A = this chain, B = another copy of it.
Amino acid sequence: MLARGLRLLGAFSAEHPAQTLSELARRADLPVSTAHRLAGELVDWGALERGDDGRFRVGLRLWEVAALAPRGSALRERALPFLEDLSQITRENVQLAVREGGEVVFVERIAGSGAVPVLTRVGGRFAPTATGVGLVLLAHAPPDVQEEALAGPVERYTPYTVTDPRALRGMLADVRSSGFAVSDRQVTDDALSVAAPVHDGRGQVVAAVSLVVRHGSASPLALAPLVRTSARAIGRALG
């Protein structure tokens, strides 16, 4: 029953943040009667909320509990002052991400005023091979995670997306030796991101920070020291 309740929670997505009972039941692959009973329990606790329109949404109490996730809100809270400094000084997009298995989860995104549009969303996932933060996190991931990411069909977003495993392997080695990653128009045609690793007190890479700017507006080599400095400051704040 717990697993089924979690399936109901997992049926929510950025595309479907509000759902009727029958939509929920279908997406969670549960009989409507079961979904009805479990959704009722989730509403009672506050994990879901039901609106005037009869649709279910993720509830505030779940959000409150989730605010205690060390790799989500807690990391974000510690990092936010530094991300804001970076945002105010550059007026560009600033992003913070962590790795979950073979994927990248965006924990924070501050959109610069007039900055280039980006595809990311807080709480959203992305394949690791195309973004700057993804390349950083993958470069410091265990070998089996790297191999799996390079073996799979690598998603292509633009003509510039690097999908060749050999080329990607070289990029990851460069990230480790240089201390930063560059994704040049690999996600959208007009954006360039420069990312750097955040190390925790034990030297583990626990997150990555990036600046995303319009392609051609700044050189990656000029941005890298900024991003690396900010990433180190965040690591220091994590202690």
A residues with CB within 8 A of B: 1-6, 9-10, 12-14, 17-18, 38, 41-42, 44-47, 49, 57-74, 77, 80-81, 84, 87-88, 98, 100, 105, 110-111, 113, 122-125
List, sorted by A's number, 10 A–B pairs whose CB atoms are closer than 8 Å. Answer: A3-B44, A10-B65, A14-B68, A17-B74, A57-B70, A60-B100, A62-B66, A62-B69, A64-B124, A77-B122
Residues of B contacting A64 in the complex (Cβ-Cβ under 8 angstroms): 72, 105, 123-125
Nearest B-chain residue to A12, judged by Cβ: B68
How far does the Cβ of A65 sit from chain B's closest Cβ, in whole Å? 5
CB–CB A68/B123 < 8 A: yes
How far does the Cβ of A107 sit from chain B's closest Cβ, in whole Å? 8
Residues of B contacting A105 in the complex (Cβ-Cβ under 8 angstroms): 60, 64
- Identical chains in the assembly: 2
How far does the Cβ of A60 sit from chain B's closest Cβ, in whole Å? 5
Residues of B contacting A14 in the complex (Cβ-Cβ under 8 angstroms): 68
Residues of B contacting A65 in the complex (Cβ-Cβ under 8 angstroms): 9-10, 12, 58, 62, 66
CB–CB A110/B98 < 8 A: no
Seed contacts A3-B45, A12-B65, A63-B66; 19 additional CB < 8 Å A-B pairs: A2-B5, A5-B6, A6-B42, A9-B47, A46-B100, A58-B65, A58-B72, A59-B69, A60-B105, A61-B100, A62-B62, A62-B65, A62-B69, A64-B105, A67-B72, A67-B122, A73-B123, A81-B113, A84-B110
Nearest B-chain residue to A123, judged by Cβ: B67
Residues of B contacting A66 in the complex (Cβ-Cβ under 8 angstroms): 58, 62-63, 65-67, 123
Residues of B contacting A17 in the complex (Cβ-Cβ under 8 angstroms): 68, 70, 74
Nearest B-chain residue to A125, judged by Cβ: B64
Nearest B-chain residue to A81, judged by Cβ: B111
Nearest B-chain residue to A8, judged by Cβ: B2
In the complex, what distance in Å separates the CA atom of A42 from the CA atom of B6? 8
With A2-B38, A122-B73 in contact, is A68–B58 under 8 Å at CB?
A: yes
- Most B CB contacts (10 A, CB to CB) among A9, A67, A72, A100 go to A67
